[in-house]
Amino acid sequence: MKRTVLLLCCLCLLAGLQRKSARMPWRSGHTLRWSDFQALPDEHSGFSASANTGISHRYTISKAGVLDPSKSIIKANFYPKLSWYKPELIDEFTLKHEQTHFDISEVHARMFRKAVAEFRFTRNSKAEIQKIYKKIESSRRNMQQQFDAETEHSVNREAERRWEFNVEALLRKYRHWAD
């Protein structure tokens, strides 16, 4: 329980730091390299690596107070200055695991784009977009945690392959909502 609370506190803190950090948007065909991970390793962590990813959203609200979905910019991002690895503990599977975390964020960015495009915004756009974002972000975080739990942070190779296949299927499912 303490670990969960600590993890949630860290995620909230990192969410605030992400806004101030350089970001690398998700791109089809581009995979992460260890050189993308620029933070110093967390020596207190029992993990071998940490890819910090998330979703950013910029939008425009018209003079009438209504959000214009056509001017909405939604990106899945990797934050190099908040991502790290311990060279002595990593292998090829570790990097693939971290890439899948990034891909999960892209799936949710696509889901967010779809939700925004299909929603009929009103003069209450700020509250409406916030509600959509919170739902997508909650789903993203839950999926990230489930991925780590089921794969035992890349230890369970069979579960890792299932997740990679399922995330690739979701990327295909939402391909019309790719950036």
The 10s digit of each residue's pLDDT in 103-130 is 999 999 999 999 999 999 999 999 999 9
The 10s digit of each residue's pLDDT in 26-42 is 999 999 999 999 999 99
CB atoms within 10 A of CB 168: 13
In contact, 41 and 93? CB cutoff 8 Å: no
pTM, two decimal places: 0.87
Output the six-digit token pair for 98.
């971290």
Number of domains in the chain: 1
Q: Could you list the residue range(s) of the whole structural domain that residue 62 is in?
A: 2-177
The torsion angles phi and psi of 61, rounded to 5 degrees, stand at -110, 130
